[in-house]
C-alpha cells in the first residue's frame, strides 16, 4: 500500500494468503494474460519454500459474469446454436476455463488452491453491497447501486491519485444515476436478454469490482497478505476493491501487500489487435514454442518492468534450456536450492537475478533444484527438448553409415560423399558431430524426420 518495495511479514506464517485477479473467461488467454500467472506461480513456489508447502493458500478467481461473455453467447444463439442463453453462457465459460487450464498448465503454472467463480458468489456480493448501503458508503438509484467514492477518504492511495486530479482529467462516465462522476457501479440492472439475479434492487448483475472483494472475503477473510494482477488493474479495479472492502469490513485491512506486474509488449510494441501482433498462449504453443521457453522468457524480465516478447528471446531461451536440460539429464536434484538463487527471489521476486545466479552454478544437481523454484527444468516439462519423436535406431544406423563413408574417405581423400550426407543430415535438422572417437548424430531444434527418408 505504500507504493514502495517493502519487507514482507505475513499475518500468519502458518497460513500465508495470496489472491490473484484471474481471467474473464470469454476467450483464449492472450500472452499478456499469462504474465501475472507465471509471476504468481513463482511467488507461490517461493512462499511455499519459505513457509512450508502446507502453509500457503493461493486463490485465483474466474470472472464469469461479464458482458463480453454475454455477447459471445448472444452471437452464438443468433448463429443458430440451441439452448437457453444461460446454457450458452455456461458452455462458453466452461470451454474457456478448460482452455485456460490447459494453457497455464503448459506454462508449468501450478493450479491455485481455490478457483472461485463469480457466479457462485452472487449472494455474498449482494450481502456486501447491502452492508455498504446500510453504512452510508453506497446508494441505490434506478436499479443501480453505486459506491460513494467521497465517503472513503483513502480513495486513491493505492494508485497514487487524488479524486480531484481524476476529476480534472474528466474522462469519467457521467450518468444521471450518479451522485458524483467518480462513483462506480456495484450493481446494475439486467434486461431480459441478459443474465441476472434477484436482488433487493431488482433483477440485475454485479459490477465488475465487487466480485474480488466478495470472494476474497469469503475465502480469505477481511485481511490477507498479498493481492496481485496486472498494473492496469491497479486503477480503477483494485482501488475500488480496496474502497469497497475496507468500508464493508472496517476492522480489516483487505490486502496488505500488492504485486502488480507491468505490461507485455511484442517486438517493442504494445500487443494489440490493430497492430496485428496480438496472439494467444495457444498460438505460440501451436507454433512449437514450448511452454517452458515462454516461461523462461517471462522470467528474464522483472515483473515490475515492461516485458518485451521477441522471437529472438525465445530462440535464446530455448538454446539455454536445451543446454541446461542436457546438463541435468538423469541427475537427482540437490536437497535444496542454491542460496544465491533464493537470495535473488527473496528480493522482490527478482527472477531475472535468479536466472543470472543459475548461470553461475556449476553443480548440475544444484542447478536442477534451484531451477525448480522458478518452475524450470522440471521433469514433466522437458519432453520438447528430448526430440523423443525420433527413432533412435534410425539415427544410429545413419551414423554407422556416415562413419563407414568417412573411414573410406580417410583412405581415398575424397570427402565429397561424406559432405553430401552431412549436408542432408544438417538439412533435416540433425546435429552432426565427427571426431576421432567416431560419429555422433543428435536431433536438433529444427529436426524433421521426414527429410531423413531416402538417406
Show contacts with RNA in window 55-84 (CB under 7 A).
68
Residues sharing a CB contact under 8 Å with residue 44, sequence separation 6 or more, in sequence order: 18, 56, 58, 110, 112
Is 335 an interacting residue with respect to RNA (CB under 7 A)?
Answer: no
Contacting residue, 53, 54, 330, 359, with RNA by CB under 7 A: 359
Contacting residue, 10, 32, 195, 429, with RNA by CB under 7 A: 32
> Contacts with RNA: how many residues (CB under 7 A)?
72
Is 230 an interacting residue with respect to RNA (CB under 7 A)?
Answer: yes
Is 360 an interacting residue with respect to RNA (CB under 7 A)?
Answer: yes
Helix/strand/coil for 4: coil
Answer for the pair 247, 151: CB distance below 8 angstroms, yes or no. yes
Contacting residue, 101, 305, 386, 401, with RNA by CB under 7 A: 305
CB of 253 to RNA, least distance (A): 22
Is 194 an interacting residue with respect to RNA (CB under 7 A)?
Answer: no
Range in contact with RNA (rule: CB under 7 A) among 102-110, 188-196, 299-307, 389-397:
299-307
Site for RNA in 154-193 (CB under 7 A): 159-161, 165-166, 168-169, 171-173
Is 363 an interacting residue with respect to RNA (CB under 7 A)?
Answer: no
**Could you tell me the CA-to-CA distances from 198 to 74, 206, 297, 349 in Å, in that order?**
21, 11, 46, 44
Is 23 an interacting residue with respect to RNA (CB under 7 A)?
Answer: yes
Q: How far apart, in whole angstroms, are the C-alpha atoms of residue 220 and residue 92?
A: 28
Is 264 an interacting residue with respect to RNA (CB under 7 A)?
Answer: yes
Is 249 an interacting residue with respect to RNA (CB under 7 A)?
Answer: no
Is 210 an interacting residue with respect to RNA (CB under 7 A)?
Answer: no
Is 235 an interacting residue with respect to RNA (CB under 7 A)?
Answer: yes
Q: How far apart, in whole angstroms, are the C-alpha atoms of residue 73 and residue 85?
A: 6
Counting Cα atoms < 13 Å in the Cβ hemisphere of 413 gives 0
Beta carbon nearer to RNA, 199 or 350? 350
CB of 12 to RNA, least distance (A): 27
Neighbour count for residue 371 (Cβ, 10 Å): 25
Where do runs of H (alpha helix) occur along 228-363?
239-248, 281-286, 291-299, 311-328, 339-346, 351-360
Is 356 an interacting residue with respect to RNA (CB under 7 A)?
Answer: yes
CB of 60 to RNA, least distance (A): 11
CB of 41 to RNA, least distance (A): 14
**Could you tell me the CA-to-CA distances from 114 to 59, 91, 214 in Å, in that order?**
5, 21, 14
Range in contact with RNA (rule: CB under 7 A) among 11-19, 47-55, 303-311, 373-381:
303-311
Is 277 an interacting residue with respect to RNA (CB under 7 A)?
Answer: no
CB of 262 to RNA, least distance (A): 6
Site for RNA in 395-414 (CB under 7 A): 406, 409-410
First to last CA, the chain: 65
CB of 362 to RNA, least distance (A): 11
In Å, how far from its chain's centre is CA 138?
A: 34
Residues sharing a CB contact under 8 Å with residue 235, sequence separation 6 or more, in sequence order: 158, 159, 161
Contacting residue, 265, 331, 346, 403, with RNA by CB under 7 A: 265
Is 38 an interacting residue with respect to RNA (CB under 7 A)?
Answer: no
Beta carbon nearer to RNA, 130 or 237? 237
Range in contact with RNA (rule: CB under 7 A) among 11-19, 105-113, 255-263, 392-400:
255-263
Is 436 an interacting residue with respect to RNA (CB under 7 A)?
Answer: yes
Range in contact with RNA (rule: CB under 7 A) among 19-27, 194-202, 284-292, 390-398:
19-27
Contacting residue, 10, 36, 108, 382, with RNA by CB under 7 A: 36
Answer for the pair 280, 23: CB distance below 8 angstroms, yes or no. no
Question: 173 exposed, middle or buried (CB, 10 Å; 0-12, 13-18, 19+)?
Answer: exposed
Residues sharing a CB contact under 8 Å with residue 414, sequence separation 6 or more, in sequence order: none
CB of 431 to RNA, least distance (A): 5
Per-residue interface string for the shown chain with RNA, residues 94-133, x marking contact by CB under 7 A: ----------------------------------------
Answer for the pair 215, 59: CB distance below 8 angstroms, yes or no. yes
Give, as one character, the DSSP assignment of residue 334: P
Range in contact with RNA (rule: CB under 7 A) among 6-14, 105-113, 125-133, 433-441:
433-441
Answer for the pair 307, 298: CB distance below 8 angstroms, yes or no. yes
**Beta-sheet strand order (sheet of 307-309):** 269-270, 264-266, 307-309
Contacting residue, 301, 364, 374, 429, with RNA by CB under 7 A: 301
Q: How far apart, in whole angstroms, are the C-alpha atoms of residue 236 and residue 223?
A: 20
Element (H, E) at 225: strand 223-230
Is 381 an interacting residue with respect to RNA (CB under 7 A)?
Answer: no
Amino acid at each position: 500500500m505504500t507504493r514502495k518495495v517493502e519487507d514482507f511479514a505475513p499475518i500468519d506464517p502458518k497460513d500465508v494468503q495470496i489472491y490473484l485477479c484471474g481471467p474473464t473467461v470469454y476467450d483464449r488467454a492472450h500472452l499478456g494474460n499469462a504474465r501475472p500467472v507465471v509471476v504468481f506461480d513463482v511467488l507461490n513456489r517461493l512462499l511455499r519454500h519459505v513457509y512450508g508447502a502446507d502453509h500457503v493458500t493461493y486463490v485465483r478467481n474466474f470472472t464469469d459474469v461479464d458482458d463480453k461473455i454475454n455477447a459471445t453467447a448472444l452471437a452464438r444463439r443468433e448463429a443458430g446454436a440451441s439452448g437457453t442463453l444461460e446454457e450458452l453462457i455456461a458452455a462458453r465459460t466452461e470451454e474457456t476455463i478448460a482452455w485456460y487450464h490447459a494453457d497455464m498448465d503448459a506454462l508449468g503454472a501450478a493450479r491455485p488452491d481455490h478457483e472461485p467463480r463469480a457466479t457462485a458468489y452472487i449472494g455474498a456480493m449482494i450481502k456486501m453491497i447491502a452492508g455498504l448501503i446500510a453504512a452510508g458508503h453506497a446508494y441505490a438509484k434506478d436499479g443501480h447501486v453505486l459506491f460513494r467514492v467521497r465517503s472513503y477518504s483513502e480513495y486513491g492511495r493505492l494508485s497514487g491519485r487524488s479524486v480531484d486530479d481524476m476529476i480534472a482529467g474528466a474522462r469519467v462516465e457521467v450518468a444521471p444515476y450518479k451522485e458524483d462522476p467518480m462513483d462506480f457501479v456495484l450493481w446494475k440492472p439486467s434486461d431480459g436478454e441478459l443474465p441476472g439475479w434477484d436482488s433487493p434492487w431488482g433483477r440485475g448483475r454485479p459490477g465488475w469490482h465487487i466480485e474480488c472483494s466478495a470472494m476474497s472475503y469469503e475465502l480469505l477473510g477481511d485481511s490477507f497478505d498479498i493481492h496481485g494482477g496486472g498494473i492496469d488493474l491497479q486503477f480503477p479495479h483494485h482501488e475500488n476493491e480496496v474502497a469497497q472492502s475496507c468500508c464493508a469490513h472496517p476492522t480489516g485491512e483487505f490486502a496488505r501487500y500488492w504485486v502488480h506486474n507491468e505490461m507485455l509488449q511484442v517486438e517493442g510494441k504494445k500487443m494489440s489487435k490493430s497492430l496485428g501482433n496480438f496472439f494467444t498462449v495457444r498460438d505460440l504453443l501451436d507454433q512449437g514454442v514450448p511452454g517452458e521457453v515462454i516461461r523462461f522468457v517471462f522470467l528474464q524480465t522483472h515483473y515490475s518492468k515492461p516485458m518485451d516478447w521477441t522471437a529472438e528471446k525465445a530462440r535464446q531461451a530455448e538454446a539455454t534450456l536445451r543446454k541446461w536440460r542436457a546438463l541435468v539429464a538423469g541427475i537427482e536434484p540437490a536437497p535444496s536450492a542454491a542460496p544465491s538463487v533464493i537470495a535473488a527471489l527473496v528480493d522482490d521476486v527478482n527472477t531475472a537475478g535468479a536466472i543470472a545466479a543459475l548461470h553461475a552454478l556449476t553443480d548440475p544437481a544444484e542447478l536442477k533444484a534451484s531451477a525448480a523454484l522458478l518452475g524450470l527444468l522440471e521433469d514433466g516439462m522437458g519432453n520438447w527438448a528430448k526430440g523423443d519423436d525420433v527413432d533412435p535406431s534410425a539415427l544410429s544406423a545413419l551414423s554407422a553409415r556416415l562413419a563407414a563413408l568417412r573411414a573410406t574417405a580417410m583412405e581415398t581423400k575424397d570427402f565429397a560423399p561424406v559432405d553430401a550426407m552431412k549436408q542432408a543430415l544438417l538439412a533435416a535438422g540433425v546435429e552432426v558431430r565427427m571426431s576421432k572417437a567416431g560419429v555422433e548424430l543428435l536431433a536438433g531444434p529444427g529436426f524433421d524426420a521426414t527429410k531423413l527418408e531416402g538417406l
